[in-house]
Amino acid sequence: MASALFSPLTLRSLRLEHRGWVSPMCQYSCEPETAEGVPTDWHLMHLGSFATGGAALILTEAAAVNPAGRISPRDAGLYNDAQAESWTRIVDFVHRHGTAETKIGTQLSHAGRKASSYWPFSGKTGTVPAAEGGWDPVGPGTGAFDGYAPPSAMTGAEIEGVIADFVASARRAVEVGFDTIEIHGAHGYLLHQFQSPLINDRTDEWGGDEAGRNRLMLAVVDAVREVIPDSMPLLLRISASDWAEGGVDAEASVRLARAASERGVDLVDVSSGGAVAHQTIPVGPGYQTGFSAKIRREAGVKTGTVGLLTSAGQAEHAVATGQADGVLIARAALRDPHWWLRAAFELGHELAWPPQYERAMPRRTF
């Protein structure tokens, strides 16, 4: 039988050879002392390994749309020429050496109140002070994420400025040669902060009811969609649940996804959590696929699913049963950058290997 996971998918004019993709994963490997937010050889190696490993679509780590939007001082950006030049080198490498007509997209982001944080392997937690290269974070209000410095509440002009920054970064992404763009509206970062009733207590047009809280995310969608080619698909990552009482839930996420689709989003990348520290997540294999399935079914939009999907069988089941249109692999890909080559073999699909590696191809004996 033909594999559902290894069947093609077309988003606008972008044809993906199969439905096994790389989820965005921050590497915290830029070198702020010499080049703020500029991807390095580490990023080339990291993303390039997935290209030679058979992934059909690679999404980069979150690329901040302005300096204050970086999660940490070691995070990447796409807001200046030096960053764009480095990303171009990586995009060209992926297109040249990919084994499955590999495509690559960037994830545009602003960390909001979670910005200027220490990177995971720094040995420290919380907000990086100015003396160590940090900066003052911003958010919808002054409420801080647990253990972080309080942000400044954004003014209306600052909000409009962030929308303009997403537009400028989207234009750079097109110039760099990315095949698609994903807007990061999940995991407790700025757009999700505005969306979540657990964080956004504004009473102006950017807060209040659900329409007001969704306004910034949808305004960014509208603005980015307007400046990228009509042929380029636009993706949106959301947290389908805050996993906390009174927060975003699956029903609200269906409504958001439907509105985003009506504005030109072609696929919703469904994750969850990250808004507040007191979340309670029942983590387990495939624990988020139900959200993806519900959004796909009720919002009428294509979805991707992610979260402890580690085996070829799990990924195949998610696509074959209509829970998602694509599966994004993260930690499993770090353990095995050639995950897609192995998965194709296990599912009986012939996926091209790099010619340099063909001597290592497993041979079927049945």
158-185 pLDDT tens trace: 999 999 999 999 999 999 999 999 999 9
| 8 Å CB contact between 100 and 343 | no
**Positive or negative torsion for Cα 11, 16, 18, 19:** negative
Does residue 7 carry a pLDDT above 90?
Answer: yes
Does residue 101 carry a pLDDT above 80?
Answer: yes
Convert 52-88 to b/e letters by CB count within 10 Å (16 or more is b).
bbbbbbbbbbbbbbbbbbbbbbbbbbbbbeebbebbe
The CB-based long-range contact list for 356-363 (8 Å cut-off, 24+ gap) reads 357/52
Task: Please name the amino acid found at residue 7.
Answer: S
Rounded to whole angstroms, how far apart are CA atoms 118 and 127? 6
CA distances 312 to 135, 182, 234, 271, 309, Å, are 43, 25, 26, 19, 8
Rounded to whole angstroms, how far apart are CA atoms 210 and 208? 7
Q: Cα angle vertex 233, ends 38, 183, to 5°?
A: 50
pTM of the model: 0.98
**Residue 199 CB coordination number (10 Å):** 25
What domains can be seen in the chain, in order of their start residue? Answer: 9-360 (3.20.20.70)
Report pLDDT digits (tens) over 218-253.
999 999 999 999 999 999 999 999 999 999 999 999
Task: Please name the amino acid found at residue 129.
Answer: P
Q: How far is CA 215 from the centre of its chain?
A: 20
Residue among 28, 148, 189, 287 flagged as catalytic: 189
What pLDDT score was predicted for residue 365? 60
Kindly indicate the confidence band of residue 100, based on its pLDDT and cuts at 50, 70 and 90.
confident
Q: Which residue has the tokens 């994750």?
A: 271
CB proximity list for 317: less than 8 A, separation 6 or greater = 323
Residue 121 is classified by DSSP as: G
Query: Is beta strand 57-64 parallel, antiparallel or unpaired with respect to 20-22?
Result: parallel
Kindly indicate the confidence band of residue 325, based on its pLDDT and cuts at 50, 70 and 90.
very high
Is 189 catalytic? The answer is yes
Does residue 364 carry a pLDDT above 90?
Answer: no
Rounded to whole angstroms, how far apart are CA atoms 114 and 147? 10
